[in-house]
Amino acid sequence: MPTKFAVQACVLSKRWRYTWMSVTNLEFDDIPPLGFSNLETFVDRVLGYCKSSQIESLRLNISKTRIQESSISNWIDKAITLSIRELDIQYKLFELPSSLFTCTTLTKLKICVPVVNLPCLKTLDVAVFTSPFSSAFKLIAGSPMLEDLSLQVVMHCDEKDFVFDIPTLKRLKLRLFRSENTNKLVLGVPKLEHLLFDGTLYSLFVMEDVLSLVEASFSFEDKSFNNHMVELSKGISGVKLFSLKKVRDTQSQDSSLLKLISASPLPVFPFMGCLELKGFWHFELIFNFFQSSPELKEIYIEKLQGYRSIAPKLVPVCMQAKLTTIEFFNFKWRKSDIPFLKFLLGNAKVLKTVTIYLEKSSIEETRLDQELHNLPRASSCCEIHFHRN
């Protein structure tokens, strides 16, 4: 709870009069408690009387109140003397004190502006709005023990290339919006396990030696899927679970993605066992993933479109020996979908279940079930299930 409530509780009992001074997790917002004329006086009083030998966390969530920069610096300095471990400051108009640059007890930091040289930092959540790479990556380079990094970039104005080794990083979240230049960023993240990407890649991101990647998730607009994203996918080809979501797309937009994949083929994903495709997806694109994923066991498809009438002559390796589960979400049945389903059922030799989640406006499941029942199946143990969203 906000610290002001802990302080106000002292009026309920004489025994509780000074109990709040032992609180180790401090949180302040814009409104001070009754009896204090302004927020600065209240925070000064709390930190001044704090008797704890260590403060676990200090959180300042200030969006409406104007605070002097010297006051915030003093609060941080005081927290550092009390061996602060987690610091969360949501206030943009200030400069961090130099004492924070070499804080040896800090393990988690969330701020609106970047700093450097934090040798114990493990979790970093930073949003930058101008010249992000020249500032944000100074912070990354100064945090050699990072395990969890969330980076939101709204404007990209740098020109030089960057090379970073983050040997301890396990989770990486990138949100990129707008750009003016194109450069190259090489990330050495050999222990990365989870990658989440949202936005448009205007810079070339290269990931080297990513052998431990468990899950990768891309969220993008169809028109923003460019060569940079194809190159990034090559760097994470060792992923085991891959999720791709096209946002605000339409059935007509998929043509640009088809052309790109045709010009720059997908890499081989030798360990990928699960694939999620959200949004509209052409069968040609799905077939590309089948061909590139010899170990694919499960695939989840949201919406189909554009199946060609002539089935491919080459049956992917995964369909002959690995594919066991297929699920369709928001499925709106059309007669043109039957050839695609026929290809799947007729070639997936170890397929166990096909689950179809029908839209409310879709045809009755009994009619679709009848259509599928007449299709030949390569797997004798395949079952088809229907559900309504």
Domain range list for the chain: 1-113
Sign of CA dihedral 135, 141, 144, 145: positive
Report the pLDDT value the prediction gives residue 175, as an integer from 0 to 100: 79
Q: Is 80 exceeded by the pLDDT of residue 176?
A: no
Report the pLDDT value the prediction gives residue 317, as an integer from 0 to 100: 94
Q: Does the predicted TM-score (pTM) go above 0.75? A: no
Edge-first strand listing for the sheet containing 184-188: 162-165, 184-188, 204-208
Alpha-carbon gap, residue 379 to 322, rounded angstroms: 12
Closest CA to 146 of 160, 127, 163, 167: 167
| DSSP reduced 3-state for 128 | strand
- Tokens at residue 99, please? 């004492």
Contacts of 373 (CB under 8 A, 6+ apart): none
Q: For residue 57, with 0-12 CB atoms within 10 Å meaning exposed, 13-18 middle and 19 or more buried, which class applies?
A: middle
Is the model more confident about 172 or about 283?
172
Closest CA to 27 of 48, 49, 7, 11: 7
C-alpha to C-alpha distances, 74 to 44, 79, 294, nearest whole angstrom: 9, 9, 58
pLDDT tens sequence across 78-110:
888 888 889 888 776 566 777 887 788 888 888
Report the pLDDT value the prediction gives residue 112, as an integer from 0 to 100: 65
Other C-beta atoms lying within 10 Å of the C-beta of residue 186: 15
Q: Would you list the DSSP string of 298-312? A: EEEEEEEE---SSPP
Other C-beta atoms lying within 10 Å of the C-beta of residue 298: 17
- Tokens at residue 237, please? 């080809």
Q: Is 50 exceeded by the pLDDT of residue 114?
A: no
354: enclosing H helix or E strand: strand 353-358
Mean residue pLDDT of the chain comes to 79
pLDDT tens sequence across 202-255:
566 777 768 889 999 988 776 555 566 777 778 888 999 999 888 765 555 455
Question: pLDDT confidence of 194, banded at 50, 70, 90?
Answer: very high
- CB-side neighbour CA atoms (13 Å) of 144: 4
Q: Which of 161-165, 262-266, 286-290 has the lowest mean pLDDT?
A: 262-266
- Tokens at residue 323, please? 């594919």
Q: Which residues pair with 387 in a beta bridge?
A: 357
Q: Is 90 exceeded by the pLDDT of residue 349?
A: yes
C-alpha to C-alpha distances, 78 to 2, 36, 71, 388, nearest whole angstrom: 19, 20, 11, 58
